[in-house]
Amino acid sequence: MLIDAFTPDWLDKLEAAGPAYLLLDGAFIPGIHKRFGNDVRFLFEHLPGWRDAVRDVSPFMFRFDGRSLAQKQALNECSGWPMISAIRTSESLDTLAQRLARWCVVQAAGQHINLRFPDTRRLPDIYGVLCAEQRADMFGPAVRYSYLGRDGVWNHIALDGKVQPSQGEPKLSDEQFNELLVSSEGDSMLAQLERRSVSNSSIARSAQYSAVCAAIALGKAQKLARNEMLDLCEQAMSYPQQISNQVG
């Protein structure tokens, strides 16, 4: 698992908040779209190379039905994965899916990149680097974008619902791209530690992430080499409070 387990009341809160479209990142549980019937929209559908294997890992959308026990059961199986967002908007499912699909692959640093906003670990950083016009293009008339964060609870992005006419292919500036690279360092380091078989099951996944980010900040301040940085992050997994105290 990559984030904390969802809190027991997460579905109750989703249902209480009113009608929503759900966006799921299929890459974390390939093929799970099959559990939600045929009325789903795939964001990768119009990209080159579309085929069944891509369908199984594509982000996809559907209307949440609080009366559906089958939906709820499938959604509960996503606990611990950064893959569920809820969007409240006046747009139809088709229109919203088309809007978001435009932002799956964007121009950045002279290449096309997968923006990965359906991964809820990346979403807040992506939202943070976008300018007002880009946010209006991406989210349109949506007024609320909720996602299950690293702590396993609903986090919310309040949107102003302004609509920006699409202006060609979405593009990130070099500065925006570099900010996103920096913001992904914590997750990249956790992945490297896992390849070293380094873990600490005694602390939550969100706490592991915080400890590693603190170690990265400390390592940068001390101008550590890459291998030294990795060693420091490994130490942070075992003694997170010690590293946090040094940063503080």
Q: Tens digit of pLDDT per residue, the chain (248 long)?
A: 899 999 999 999 999 999 999 999 999 999 999 999 999 999 999 999 999 999 999 999 999 999 999 999 999 999 999 999 999 999 999 999 999 999 999 999 999 999 999 999 999 999 999 999 999 999 999 999 999 999 999 999 989 888 877 778 899 999 999 999 999 999 999 999 988 888 788 889 999 999 999 999 999 999 999 899 999 999 998 877 666 566 55
Amino acid identity, residue 121?
R
Q: Crossing angle, helix 205-221 and helix 240-247, to 10 degrees? A: 40
Predicted TM-score of the model (pTM): 0.93
With CA atoms as reference, report the closest residue to 107 among 179, 40, 36, 170: 170
- DSSP string across the chain: --SPPPPTTHHHHHHHT---EEEEETTSSTTGGGGG-S--EETTTTSTT--HHHHTTSEEEEE--TT-HHHHHHHHTTTTSS-EEEEE-SS-HHHHHHHHHTTTEEEETTEEEE--TTSTTTHHHHHHHS-HHHHHHHHTT--EEEEE-TTSSEEEEE---------SS-B--HHHHHHHHHHTHHHHHHHHHHHTT---TTS-HHHHHHHHHHHHHHHHHTT--HHHHHHHHHHHHH-HHHHHHHH-
What's the first-to-final CA gap in the chain, in angstroms?
29
pLDDT value at residue 239: 74
Please name the residue that has the structure tokens 């009608």. 19
CB 24 within 8 A of CB 32: yes
pLDDT value at residue 246: 66
pLDDT value at residue 240: 72
pLDDT value at residue 148: 98
